[in-house]
Structure formats: structure tokens, C-alpha cells
Amino acid sequence: MLSFLFWNLNRKALLESVTRMTLRHEIDVLILIESGIEEVRLLEALNAETVEYHCASSAIPGMPSRFQIFTKFPSEFLKPFHDEDRMTIRRLDVPAKDEILLTAIHFPSKLALSDADQAFESTRYAETIAVREREAGHARTVVIGDINMNPFEFGMVGARGFNAVMTRTLAEGRTRRVQGGDYPFFYNPMWGRFGDTTRGPGGSYYYDNSGRHDNHYWNVFDQVLLRPDLLPFFSHNDLDILTHDGEHSLLDGRGRPNAETASDHLPLVFRLSL
């Protein structure tokens, strides 16, 4: 079993919450963005009782990274494969398990890009991932990150974008053909994390823009996408939007992300039974 935790900290130094959740959920790979925590402090906190975690943020010596990555695996098991400002792809190659391509993304926000911009920009990310899959010789790819789009937006569902569909059955079709081109599917389990019928909150990010006609209140910007080859190793019970760090709620009195004491985004935890 491999476990992953992703959280956009909104530049907060949420050292205790992150440490508590990481240890409580026995996380193998922790990915933070917009972190206000000093890496060295988090490494010390994670290893305070038992020395298990390694800092794997920097893919290229000397180069800064917007991703803070901590893992129970030594660096040789999480090798840099592709790095750019808002996307890092690592080869997670743990002994006795099939290699996976772990892709973390912090996609440009709607403050910087229009919906159309985001849709076009997503094609570059999708192409890069596909190129790297061909280079690796497999498509056991996980994408995790703050994609700053909802699962239903063009950039997420477009064939040349992430092409991320809402059911396993659709994803098992592996590819679809559009205008003569074949495009590989991702499965996007986050479709099932909207609204009141989920076991968690209504989404991962709340934005009250109720003065505008176009307003969803709850958004699912924080997402996990899986290629079909990883579906046998994934169960819906192994994916949660967390609302509690084990000691403190991450929500305010109205059940929304508490941006004062925590972050405006909620963390994701998921597992693969590899």
C-alpha cells in the first residue's frame, strides 16, 4: 500500500497539522504547495520520534521548487524525471512494486488565466505527461495537485487536455479518438466528491462569489487523476478530502475551510494498493 497526502497550505505555517496528519495516516509521500513551513522544521518534526522521512523537494541541485515533497523512501526510489515551475514528475520506483510516475501540479489559477487560457494551457501539461510516459515505457501515472479547475471544466475533460473522465468504466476504454487523434484517458475520482452525498465536505475549496451569476460555492480544485493501468489498485474508500487533522477541525463553524486557522484548501489523502 502506498499512501499520499497533498495540501495547498495557502502560505500558512501549519507545521503541527501537517505533521499530525502525515504521521496519523502513515503517509509515504507528502506533497505541499504554497507552504509557509520551513522544510527543515517539517523534516525535524516528522522525524522527531522515528527517523523515517526524507526531504525530496529539490529535483535539481541548487534549484528552488514550489513543491515541498517528503517521503519515507530514500532519494534513489523517488527520482526526478521532469521538472518545470508548476509541474514535477518523479519516478517512484520502490523495490518489489511496479514503478509509477508521480506527477504533482500547481496549475495557474483563475486569477491569472481565463477559462479558455486554462483549457489551452492544460494541453501542454497533458502532452508533457504523455511524452514522459512514452519515455518511461509505461503509463502507470498518478497526477495530484491543485489544478485550479473543477473536474467538469474544458481543461479537465477536453481530449487534448487532461481527458479525465468521471467513471472507471469510461477510463477503462483507455483512449478516445477525436478527429483522427487518439487521446489517453485519466480517471478522475474527484467527480464523486461534490455536494452533500459525499462522505466528506462539498468540495476541497470554497469560494463565495454569490453576487455573480456563475457561482458554485464549493469547488474541487484539488484532484487526483489516475491512468487506467492503476485502477486495479485504487478504491474509492482510499480517497478522502480531510476535514480534521486528528486534533483540530480544518473547517469553520459553517463547515467551510477555515482560512483563518488552517488553509482555504482542504487536504487530500489517497492510497494505492500497489
Based on the shown chain and the rule CB under 8 A, indicate whether residue 40 belongs to the binding site for other proteins: yes
| Count of residues near other proteins by CB under 8 A | 22
Based on the shown chain and the rule CB under 8 A, indicate whether residue 64 belongs to the binding site for other proteins: yes
The DSSP letter of residue 257 is: B
* Piece of the chain touching other proteins by CB under 8 A; list 33-41, 95-103, 210-218, 260-268: 33-41
Based on the shown chain and the rule CB under 8 A, indicate whether residue 79 belongs to the binding site for other proteins: no
Nearest to 2 by CA among 122, 118, 144: 144
Based on the shown chain and the rule CB under 8 A, indicate whether residue 234 belongs to the binding site for other proteins: no
Integer Cα distance of 252 and 257 in angstroms: 6
Q: How many CB atoms lie within 10 A of CB 12?
A: 20
> 261 and 248 in contact (C-beta within 8 Å)?
yes
- Contacting residue, 1, 26, 44, 215, with other proteins by CB under 8 A: 44
- Contacting residue, 20, 54, 168, 216, with other proteins by CB under 8 A: 54
Nearer Cβ to other proteins (77/206) = 77
Nearest to 105 by CA among 89, 121, 117: 89
> 129 and 163 in contact (C-beta within 8 Å)?
no
- Contacting residue, 7, 53, 107, 270, with other proteins by CB under 8 A: 53
Nearest to 4 by CA among 186, 273, 243, 211: 273
Give the containing element (helix H, strand E) for 269.
Answer: strand 268-272
* Piece of the chain touching other proteins by CB under 8 A; list 16-24, 45-53, 83-91, 245-253: 45-53
Q: Which residues bind other proteins (CB under 8 A)?
A: 38-40, 43-44, 47-48, 51, 53-58, 60-64, 74-76
